[in-house]
Amino acid sequence: MPLVNISILKGKSPEYLKSVADGINSAVIETMAFPDDDRYQVIHELEPHCLQLQERHSDRVMMHLTMRAGRSNKAKQSFYAKAVENLAKDPGIDPANILITIVENHDIDWSFRDGIAQFVV
């Protein structure tokens, strides 16, 4: 699973946060073939003036994925579409108000525990 940083507006309910996190996680698993049990997400709750997305002022989400290189353009495009579909469905975020970025790195760039690069051991 990629490391997913999710920025949302402050003051949302725990159910809203869960819906956003689950919708993104589901899209990652469905479109990019990550294992079902890999989930690394950080949710940042920000004041509206700290989550600026051009001229959009209603509910909005920015997500930034950091992941190992190798996923195809088609897989990434499928992820974008599925993530937006999931978040539009629940909790009802306008697709125009969702920004997604992906940054890729290499096996050596990950340590999940114990100070070991598990992908290169």
Q: Is 114 inside any structural domain?
A: no
* Position with higher pLDDT, 69 vs 57: 69
| Domain, as residue range, for 79 | 3-109
32 Cβ contact partners less than 8 Å away, ≥ 6 residues apart: 71, 75, 76, 78, 79
As for how many domains the chain has, the answer is 1
pLDDT at 55: 84
Whether residue 1 has pLDDT greater than 80: no
Instruction: Kindly report the CATH number assigned to the domain that includes residue 28.
Output: 3.30.429.10
Q: Is 13 inside any structural domain?
A: yes
Q: Is 102 inside any structural domain?
A: yes
Q: Is 40 inside any structural domain?
A: yes
* Torsion angle (degrees, nearest 10) of CA 18, 20, 26, 28: -130
Q: Is 118 inside any structural domain?
A: no
pLDDT at 121: 77
Q: Is 18 inside any structural domain?
A: yes
Residue type, 112: F
List pLDDT tens digits, range 28-68.
999 999 999 989 999 999 999 999 998 887 999 999 999 99
List pLDDT tens digits, range 81-112.
999 999 999 999 999 999 999 999 999 999 99
Q: Is 31 inside any structural domain?
A: yes
pLDDT at 72: 97
Confidence band (pLDDT; 50, 70, 90) for 17?
very high
